[in-house]
Structure 1
Amino acid sequence: MRPRRRATGTAYAEPVTRDWYAWHDDYDQPGSPLSRRLTEVRLRIGEALDQAPPGPLRAVSLCAGQGRDLIPALATHRRRDDVTARLVELDPRNAEFARAAAAEAGLSAVEVVVGDASLTDHYADLAPAHLVLVCGIFGNIADADIRATVRHCAALCATGGTVFWTRHRREPDLVPAICDWFAEEGFRPVAVSSPADGVGVGVHRFTGTPRPLELGATMFQFVGYDRLTHH
Protein backbone atom coordinates (compact mmCIF):
# COMPACT_ATOMS: atom_id res chain seq x y z
CA MET A 1 0.00 0.00 0.00
CA ARG A 2 1.33 3.44 -0.84
CA PRO A 3 2.23 5.49 2.25
CA ARG A 4 -0.16 8.21 3.23
CA ARG A 5 1.15 11.73 3.17
CA ARG A 6 1.58 13.83 6.24
CA ALA A 7 -0.07 17.25 6.03
CA THR A 8 3.21 19.05 6.67
CA GLY A 9 6.37 17.88 5.07
CA THR A 10 6.89 14.22 4.23
CA ALA A 11 5.73 10.62 3.84
CA TYR A 12 3.47 9.36 6.59
CA ALA A 13 2.89 5.65 7.07
CA GLU A 14 -0.68 5.89 8.39
CA PRO A 15 -3.68 8.25 8.09
CA VAL A 16 -3.20 11.71 9.56
CA THR A 17 -5.92 13.49 11.50
CA ARG A 18 -4.08 16.57 12.76
CA ASP A 19 -4.75 19.81 10.92
CA TRP A 20 -1.24 21.15 10.34
CA TYR A 21 -2.58 24.51 9.18
CA ALA A 22 -4.48 25.09 12.45
CA TRP A 23 -1.45 23.78 14.37
CA HIS A 24 0.31 27.07 13.57
CA ASP A 25 -2.25 29.03 15.62
CA ASP A 26 -0.21 28.41 18.77
CA TYR A 27 2.51 30.64 17.33
CA ASP A 28 0.12 33.55 17.88
CA GLN A 29 -0.40 32.77 21.57
CA PRO A 30 2.02 34.90 23.66
CA GLY A 31 4.04 32.75 26.03
CA SER A 32 3.13 29.45 24.38
CA PRO A 33 5.99 26.97 23.84
CA LEU A 34 5.73 27.40 20.08
CA SER A 35 5.78 31.19 20.39
CA ARG A 36 8.87 31.10 22.60
CA ARG A 37 10.56 28.60 20.30
CA LEU A 38 9.82 30.78 17.29
CA THR A 39 11.33 33.84 18.96
CA GLU A 40 14.50 31.91 19.73
CA VAL A 41 14.86 30.51 16.21
CA ARG A 42 14.39 33.93 14.61
CA LEU A 43 16.99 35.42 16.93
CA ARG A 44 19.50 32.72 16.02
CA ILE A 45 18.84 33.14 12.28
CA GLY A 46 19.58 36.85 12.61
CA GLU A 47 22.84 36.10 14.43
CA ALA A 48 23.90 33.63 11.75
CA LEU A 49 23.19 36.19 9.03
CA ASP A 50 25.25 38.75 10.94
CA GLN A 51 28.21 36.37 10.88
CA ALA A 52 27.76 35.04 7.34
CA PRO A 53 30.45 35.79 4.74
CA PRO A 54 29.87 38.64 2.28
CA GLY A 55 28.23 37.86 -1.03
CA PRO A 56 25.31 35.66 -2.06
CA LEU A 57 23.87 33.28 0.54
CA ARG A 58 21.68 30.19 0.20
CA ALA A 59 19.07 28.89 2.63
CA VAL A 60 16.86 25.79 2.72
CA SER A 61 14.01 24.99 5.10
CA LEU A 62 12.65 21.45 5.48
CA CYS A 63 9.03 20.97 6.55
CA ALA A 64 8.83 24.75 6.40
CA GLY A 65 5.19 25.07 7.40
CA GLN A 66 4.11 28.68 6.99
CA GLY A 67 7.68 29.96 6.95
CA ARG A 68 7.18 31.86 10.18
CA ASP A 69 10.79 31.42 11.26
CA LEU A 70 12.85 32.24 8.18
CA ILE A 71 10.68 34.76 6.31
CA PRO A 72 10.26 37.36 9.11
CA ALA A 73 13.92 36.96 10.08
CA LEU A 74 15.00 37.71 6.51
CA ALA A 75 12.48 40.51 6.02
CA THR A 76 14.06 42.75 8.65
CA HIS A 77 17.71 41.85 8.16
CA ARG A 78 20.26 43.93 6.26
CA ARG A 79 21.39 40.80 4.34
CA ARG A 80 17.89 40.05 3.10
CA ASP A 81 18.67 40.70 -0.55
CA ASP A 82 21.75 38.44 -0.44
CA VAL A 83 19.71 35.34 0.37
CA THR A 84 18.23 32.87 -2.09
CA ALA A 85 15.98 30.50 -0.16
CA ARG A 86 13.81 27.46 -0.78
CA LEU A 87 11.10 26.38 1.64
CA VAL A 88 9.65 22.89 1.10
CA GLU A 89 6.22 22.16 2.56
CA LEU A 90 3.65 19.50 1.65
CA ASP A 91 0.46 21.21 2.87
CA PRO A 92 -0.57 23.62 0.06
CA ARG A 93 -2.40 25.89 2.54
CA ASN A 94 0.74 26.39 4.59
CA ALA A 95 2.81 26.82 1.46
CA GLU A 96 0.45 29.51 0.17
CA PHE A 97 0.66 31.30 3.51
CA ALA A 98 4.46 31.28 3.28
CA ARG A 99 4.41 32.37 -0.35
CA ALA A 100 2.15 35.32 0.46
CA ALA A 101 4.33 36.32 3.43
CA ALA A 102 7.45 36.31 1.26
CA ALA A 103 5.72 38.38 -1.42
CA GLU A 104 4.43 40.89 1.12
CA ALA A 105 7.96 41.26 2.51
CA GLY A 106 9.37 41.79 -0.98
CA LEU A 107 11.56 38.68 -0.76
CA SER A 108 11.55 37.77 -4.44
CA ALA A 109 14.38 35.25 -4.01
CA VAL A 110 12.40 33.14 -1.53
CA GLU A 111 10.80 30.16 -3.28
CA VAL A 112 8.12 27.99 -1.66
CA VAL A 113 7.80 24.47 -3.05
CA VAL A 114 4.88 22.16 -2.35
CA GLY A 115 6.42 18.74 -1.94
CA ASP A 116 7.83 16.03 0.30
CA ALA A 117 10.49 17.76 2.39
CA SER A 118 12.30 14.51 3.17
CA LEU A 119 13.48 14.08 -0.44
CA THR A 120 17.01 15.29 -1.07
CA ASP A 121 16.30 16.20 -4.70
CA HIS A 122 14.46 19.35 -3.58
CA TYR A 123 17.73 20.86 -2.34
CA ALA A 124 20.20 19.70 -4.98
CA ASP A 125 20.72 23.08 -6.67
CA LEU A 126 21.04 25.04 -3.39
CA ALA A 127 23.22 22.64 -1.42
CA PRO A 128 25.52 23.22 0.27
CA ALA A 129 23.58 26.09 1.85
CA HIS A 130 24.62 28.68 4.42
CA LEU A 131 21.40 28.29 6.45
CA VAL A 132 19.69 24.91 6.89
CA LEU A 133 16.44 24.78 8.90
CA VAL A 134 15.18 21.41 10.17
CA CYS A 135 12.78 22.85 12.74
CA GLY A 136 9.75 20.87 13.89
CA ILE A 137 11.12 17.57 12.61
CA PHE A 138 13.26 15.87 15.27
CA GLY A 139 10.38 15.57 17.73
CA ASN A 140 8.28 13.73 15.16
CA ILE A 141 10.57 11.12 13.65
CA ALA A 142 12.26 7.98 14.96
CA ASP A 143 15.71 8.22 16.55
CA ALA A 144 17.35 6.40 13.63
CA ASP A 145 15.85 8.91 11.20
CA ILE A 146 17.14 11.81 13.32
CA ARG A 147 20.62 10.32 13.07
CA ALA A 148 20.23 9.88 9.30
CA THR A 149 18.99 13.46 8.88
CA VAL A 150 21.97 14.82 10.83
CA ARG A 151 24.21 12.87 8.47
CA HIS A 152 22.48 14.45 5.47
CA CYS A 153 22.97 17.89 7.05
CA ALA A 154 26.70 17.44 6.39
CA ALA A 155 25.80 17.50 2.69
CA LEU A 156 23.10 20.16 2.89
CA CYS A 157 25.26 22.64 4.83
CA ALA A 158 28.21 24.66 3.52
CA THR A 159 31.46 24.92 5.46
CA GLY A 160 30.86 27.66 8.02
CA GLY A 161 27.11 27.37 7.49
CA THR A 162 24.55 26.93 10.24
CA VAL A 163 21.91 24.29 10.96
CA PHE A 164 18.89 25.20 13.10
CA TRP A 165 16.85 22.40 14.67
CA THR A 166 14.26 21.91 17.38
CA ARG A 167 13.38 19.07 19.70
CA HIS A 168 11.34 18.92 22.90
CA ARG A 169 13.32 18.40 26.12
CA ARG A 170 10.86 16.09 27.83
CA GLU A 171 12.04 12.65 28.94
CA PRO A 172 13.57 10.77 27.36
CA ASP A 173 15.71 13.80 26.47
CA LEU A 174 17.48 13.00 23.20
CA VAL A 175 19.09 16.44 22.81
CA PRO A 176 22.50 15.41 24.23
CA ALA A 177 22.65 12.50 21.78
CA ILE A 178 21.65 14.75 18.88
CA CYS A 179 24.47 17.13 19.81
CA ASP A 180 26.88 14.18 19.78
CA TRP A 181 25.64 13.14 16.34
CA PHE A 182 26.21 16.63 14.98
CA ALA A 183 29.73 16.61 16.45
CA GLU A 184 30.46 13.31 14.72
CA GLU A 185 29.52 14.92 11.40
CA GLY A 186 31.81 17.92 11.85
CA PHE A 187 29.46 20.43 13.48
CA ARG A 188 30.21 22.48 16.58
CA PRO A 189 27.47 23.81 18.89
CA VAL A 190 26.64 27.50 18.77
CA ALA A 191 23.63 27.42 21.10
CA VAL A 192 21.53 24.65 22.64
CA SER A 193 18.68 25.53 24.97
CA SER A 194 18.63 23.91 28.41
CA PRO A 195 15.84 21.68 29.76
CA ALA A 196 14.82 24.55 32.06
CA ASP A 197 13.94 26.66 29.01
CA GLY A 198 11.01 24.38 28.27
CA VAL A 199 11.66 24.46 24.52
CA GLY A 200 14.51 22.82 22.64
CA VAL A 201 16.36 24.90 20.04
CA GLY A 202 19.72 23.81 18.70
CA VAL A 203 22.13 25.75 16.50
CA HIS A 204 25.23 24.08 15.05
CA ARG A 205 27.89 25.40 12.69
CA PHE A 206 29.52 23.13 10.15
CA THR A 207 33.31 23.06 10.29
CA GLY A 208 33.88 20.16 7.90
CA THR A 209 33.88 19.76 4.14
CA PRO A 210 30.42 19.07 2.68
CA ARG A 211 30.00 15.60 1.28
CA PRO A 212 28.12 15.25 -2.04
CA LEU A 213 24.36 15.31 -1.57
CA GLU A 214 22.89 11.89 -2.20
CA LEU A 215 20.22 12.33 -4.86
CA GLY A 216 17.03 10.28 -4.80
CA ALA A 217 17.31 9.71 -1.05
CA THR A 218 14.60 9.96 1.60
CA MET A 219 16.09 11.46 4.77
CA PHE A 220 13.29 10.57 7.18
CA GLN A 221 9.70 9.44 7.57
CA PHE A 222 7.43 11.65 9.63
CA VAL A 223 5.70 9.62 12.36
CA GLY A 224 4.26 12.31 14.63
CA TYR A 225 4.96 13.02 18.30
CA ASP A 226 1.72 11.48 19.56
CA ARG A 227 2.29 8.22 17.74
CA LEU A 228 5.94 8.05 18.78
CA THR A 229 5.11 8.52 22.45
CA HIS A 230 2.22 6.05 22.21
CA HIS A 231 4.55 3.34 20.98
Structure 2
Amino acid sequence: MSDWVSWHDHYDRPGSPLEHRLGAVRRWIAAALDDGASRVVSLCAGQGRDLLPVLAAHPRRAQVRARLVELDERNVAEARRNAPEGVEVVCGDAAALRAYAGAVPADLVLVCGVFGNISDDDIRVTVAALPQLCAPGAMVVWTRGRHEPDLVPVISGWFAAENFDLVAEEGAEYGYGIGIHRYTGPPVPLDPAAHLFTFADSGPRI
Protein backbone atom coordinates (compact mmCIF):
# COMPACT_ATOMS: atom_id res chain seq x y z
CA MET A 1 0.00 0.00 0.00
CA SER A 2 1.12 3.56 -0.69
CA ASP A 3 2.29 5.51 2.35
CA TRP A 4 0.13 8.62 2.21
CA VAL A 5 1.51 9.83 5.55
CA SER A 6 5.18 10.02 4.57
CA TRP A 7 4.09 11.58 1.26
CA HIS A 8 3.48 14.77 3.25
CA ASP A 9 7.19 14.95 4.14
CA HIS A 10 7.83 16.52 0.72
CA TYR A 11 6.04 19.64 1.93
CA ASP A 12 8.81 20.13 4.49
CA ARG A 13 11.71 19.93 2.03
CA PRO A 14 12.89 23.47 1.16
CA GLY A 15 12.68 24.10 -2.56
CA SER A 16 10.74 20.94 -3.33
CA PRO A 17 7.95 21.07 -5.93
CA LEU A 18 5.40 20.25 -3.25
CA GLU A 19 6.61 23.09 -1.03
CA HIS A 20 6.14 25.54 -3.90
CA ARG A 21 2.81 24.01 -4.81
CA LEU A 22 1.57 24.21 -1.23
CA GLY A 23 2.43 27.90 -1.01
CA ALA A 24 0.61 28.66 -4.25
CA VAL A 25 -2.49 26.69 -3.27
CA ARG A 26 -2.60 28.45 0.09
CA ARG A 27 -2.51 31.83 -1.66
CA TRP A 28 -5.57 30.92 -3.70
CA ILE A 29 -7.39 29.56 -0.65
CA ALA A 30 -6.73 32.84 1.16
CA ALA A 31 -7.99 34.77 -1.86
CA ALA A 32 -11.22 32.75 -1.92
CA LEU A 33 -11.77 33.35 1.79
CA ASP A 34 -11.06 37.05 1.30
CA ASP A 35 -13.73 37.07 -1.40
CA GLY A 36 -16.31 35.64 0.99
CA ALA A 37 -16.18 31.86 0.54
CA SER A 38 -18.03 30.37 3.51
CA ARG A 39 -18.39 26.69 2.54
CA VAL A 40 -15.38 24.60 1.60
CA VAL A 41 -14.93 20.96 0.63
CA SER A 42 -11.63 19.19 0.05
CA LEU A 43 -11.30 15.87 -1.81
CA CYS A 44 -8.53 13.47 -0.71
CA ALA A 45 -7.60 16.11 1.84
CA GLY A 46 -4.68 14.26 3.42
CA GLN A 47 -3.62 16.10 6.57
CA GLY A 48 -5.30 19.29 5.41
CA ARG A 49 -2.04 21.17 5.15
CA ASP A 50 -3.32 23.39 2.37
CA LEU A 51 -6.54 24.61 3.98
CA LEU A 52 -6.22 24.30 7.76
CA PRO A 53 -3.36 26.75 8.49
CA VAL A 54 -4.89 29.37 6.19
CA LEU A 55 -8.32 29.00 7.72
CA ALA A 56 -7.04 29.04 11.31
CA ALA A 57 -5.33 32.40 10.73
CA HIS A 58 -8.04 34.01 8.62
CA PRO A 59 -10.20 36.81 10.10
CA ARG A 60 -13.34 35.17 8.62
CA ARG A 61 -12.66 31.75 10.12
CA ALA A 62 -15.74 31.87 12.34
CA GLN A 63 -17.97 32.25 9.28
CA VAL A 64 -16.46 29.31 7.37
CA ARG A 65 -17.63 25.71 7.44
CA ALA A 66 -15.47 23.06 5.80
CA ARG A 67 -15.55 19.34 5.18
CA LEU A 68 -12.35 17.45 4.45
CA VAL A 69 -12.71 13.90 3.13
CA GLU A 70 -9.74 11.54 3.47
CA LEU A 71 -9.48 7.75 3.51
CA ASP A 72 -6.19 7.25 5.40
CA GLU A 73 -7.04 7.06 9.11
CA ARG A 74 -3.62 8.40 10.17
CA ASN A 75 -3.98 11.46 8.01
CA VAL A 76 -7.52 11.95 9.29
CA ALA A 77 -6.25 11.90 12.87
CA GLU A 78 -3.57 14.48 12.08
CA ALA A 79 -6.06 16.74 10.31
CA ARG A 80 -8.49 16.53 13.20
CA ARG A 81 -5.74 17.56 15.63
CA ASN A 82 -5.15 20.73 13.63
CA ALA A 83 -8.70 21.54 12.54
CA PRO A 84 -10.14 24.80 13.86
CA GLU A 85 -13.78 25.07 14.91
CA GLY A 86 -16.16 24.69 12.00
CA VAL A 87 -14.06 22.09 10.18
CA GLU A 88 -15.31 18.52 9.84
CA VAL A 89 -12.78 15.85 8.87
CA VAL A 90 -14.49 12.76 7.49
CA CYS A 91 -12.73 9.41 7.19
CA GLY A 92 -14.15 8.03 3.98
CA ASP A 93 -13.87 7.56 0.24
CA ALA A 94 -13.51 11.00 -1.35
CA ALA A 95 -14.63 9.57 -4.70
CA ALA A 96 -18.09 8.78 -3.32
CA LEU A 97 -20.33 11.82 -3.72
CA ARG A 98 -22.40 10.78 -0.74
CA ALA A 99 -19.45 11.91 1.40
CA TYR A 100 -20.36 15.53 0.60
CA ALA A 101 -24.07 15.39 1.40
CA GLY A 102 -24.92 18.29 3.69
CA ALA A 103 -21.71 20.17 2.89
CA VAL A 104 -22.48 21.26 -0.67
CA PRO A 105 -22.95 23.34 -2.70
CA ALA A 106 -19.62 24.83 -1.67
CA ASP A 107 -17.97 28.14 -2.49
CA LEU A 108 -14.47 26.63 -2.62
CA VAL A 109 -13.65 23.09 -3.80
CA LEU A 110 -10.12 21.72 -3.44
CA VAL A 111 -8.99 18.84 -5.68
CA CYS A 112 -5.27 18.83 -4.86
CA GLY A 113 -3.05 15.76 -5.20
CA VAL A 114 -5.80 13.82 -6.97
CA PHE A 115 -5.43 14.12 -10.75
CA GLY A 116 -1.87 12.77 -10.78
CA ASN A 117 -3.02 9.54 -9.13
CA ILE A 118 -6.07 8.55 -11.16
CA SER A 119 -6.65 7.57 -14.77
CA ASP A 120 -7.35 10.12 -17.49
CA ASP A 121 -10.88 8.76 -17.83
CA ASP A 122 -11.47 9.19 -14.10
CA ILE A 123 -10.19 12.76 -14.25
CA ARG A 124 -12.73 13.50 -16.98
CA VAL A 125 -15.52 11.91 -14.94
CA THR A 126 -14.49 13.88 -11.86
CA VAL A 127 -14.38 17.22 -13.67
CA ALA A 128 -17.82 16.53 -15.15
CA ALA A 129 -19.20 15.84 -11.64
CA LEU A 130 -17.70 18.88 -9.92
CA PRO A 131 -20.71 21.13 -10.66
CA GLN A 132 -22.58 18.94 -8.16
CA LEU A 133 -20.23 20.21 -5.45
CA CYS A 134 -20.22 23.86 -6.54
CA ALA A 135 -22.42 26.80 -5.78
CA PRO A 136 -22.72 29.22 -8.71
CA GLY A 137 -19.55 31.31 -8.70
CA ALA A 138 -17.58 28.74 -6.70
CA MET A 139 -13.81 28.51 -7.10
CA VAL A 140 -12.16 25.15 -7.80
CA VAL A 141 -8.44 24.69 -7.16
CA TRP A 142 -6.83 21.57 -8.63
CA THR A 143 -3.31 20.27 -9.16
CA ARG A 144 -1.53 17.91 -11.48
CA GLY A 145 2.19 17.19 -11.92
CA ARG A 146 3.46 18.20 -15.36
CA HIS A 147 5.01 14.80 -16.03
CA GLU A 148 4.67 13.43 -19.54
CA PRO A 149 2.18 13.21 -21.02
CA ASP A 150 1.35 16.69 -19.77
CA LEU A 151 -2.40 16.60 -19.26
CA VAL A 152 -2.77 20.06 -17.67
CA PRO A 153 -3.97 21.82 -20.89
CA VAL A 154 -6.39 18.98 -21.57
CA ILE A 155 -7.83 19.13 -18.05
CA SER A 156 -8.34 22.88 -18.41
CA GLY A 157 -10.31 22.17 -21.58
CA TRP A 158 -12.47 19.67 -19.72
CA PHE A 159 -13.23 22.30 -17.10
CA ALA A 160 -14.21 24.78 -19.82
CA ALA A 161 -16.66 22.24 -21.24
CA GLU A 162 -18.39 22.02 -17.84
CA ASN A 163 -19.03 25.79 -17.45
CA PHE A 164 -15.84 26.64 -15.58
CA ASP A 165 -13.96 29.81 -16.51
CA LEU A 166 -10.18 29.75 -16.17
CA VAL A 167 -9.00 32.23 -13.54
CA ALA A 168 -5.31 31.31 -13.51
CA GLU A 169 -2.84 28.52 -14.22
CA GLU A 170 0.61 28.42 -12.67
CA GLY A 171 3.47 26.28 -11.43
CA ALA A 172 5.03 25.06 -14.69
CA GLU A 173 8.48 26.31 -13.67
CA TYR A 174 8.39 23.91 -10.71
CA GLY A 175 7.11 20.92 -12.66
CA TYR A 176 3.50 21.05 -11.58
CA GLY A 177 0.25 22.63 -12.70
CA ILE A 178 -2.24 24.47 -10.52
CA GLY A 179 -5.55 25.29 -12.13
CA ILE A 180 -7.97 27.81 -10.67
CA HIS A 181 -11.44 27.86 -12.21
CA ARG A 182 -14.69 29.67 -11.47
CA TYR A 183 -17.99 27.82 -11.90
CA THR A 184 -20.39 29.81 -14.07
CA GLY A 185 -23.08 27.22 -14.57
CA PRO A 186 -26.40 26.57 -12.82
CA PRO A 187 -26.91 24.60 -9.59
CA VAL A 188 -26.66 20.84 -10.12
CA PRO A 189 -28.16 18.41 -7.58
CA LEU A 190 -25.88 15.95 -5.83
CA ASP A 191 -26.09 12.31 -6.94
CA PRO A 192 -25.15 10.45 -3.75
CA ALA A 193 -24.86 7.16 -5.63
CA ALA A 194 -22.07 8.40 -7.93
CA HIS A 195 -18.48 7.21 -7.56
CA LEU A 196 -15.87 9.22 -9.45
CA PHE A 197 -12.43 7.61 -9.40
CA THR A 198 -10.07 4.94 -8.15
CA PHE A 199 -6.51 5.72 -7.07
CA ALA A 200 -3.74 4.02 -9.04
CA ASP A 201 -1.52 1.38 -7.42
CA SER A 202 1.75 2.92 -8.66
CA GLY A 203 2.34 5.02 -5.56
CA PRO A 204 1.85 8.69 -4.74
CA ARG A 205 2.58 11.28 -7.42
CA ILE A 206 2.15 15.04 -7.37
Give the TM-score category using the shorter length: over 0.9
Written as runs of structure 1 = structure 2, the 5 A alignment for 1:1-231 is 16=1, 18-52=2-36, 57-102=38-83, 107-193=84-170, 195-224=172-201
- In 2: Cα distance, 1:129 partner to 1:82 partner: 13
Which runs of 5 or more structure 2 residues have no equivalent in the other structure? none
TM-score between both structures, scaled by the size of structure 2 = 0.95
Contact 2:106–2:138 (8 Å) recurs in 1: yes
TM-aligned CA distance change 1:224 to 1:183, over 3 Å:
farther
Contact 2:114–2:144 (8 Å) recurs in 1: yes
- In 2: Cα distance, 1:165 partner to 1:225 partner: 21
Query: Cα offset for 1:225?
Result: 5.2
Q: CA RMSD in A?
A: 1.6
Number of aligned pairs?
205
TM-aligned CA distance change 1:224 to 1:168, over 3 Å:
farther
Runs of 4+ residues deviating >3 angstroms: 224-228
- In 2: Cα distance, 1:110 partner to 1:224 partner: 30
- In 1: Cα distance, 2:168 partner to 2:56 partner: 23
Query: Cα offset for 1:85?
Result: 0.5
Larger radius of gyration: 1
Aligned twin of 1:8: none
Which runs of 5 or more structure 1 residues have no equivalent in the other structure? 1-15
Query: Cα offset for 1:134?
Result: 0.8
Q: Percent identity?
A: 56
- In 1: Cα distance, 2:202 partner to 2:40 partner: 26
- In 2: Cα distance, 1:87 partner to 1:169 partner: 25
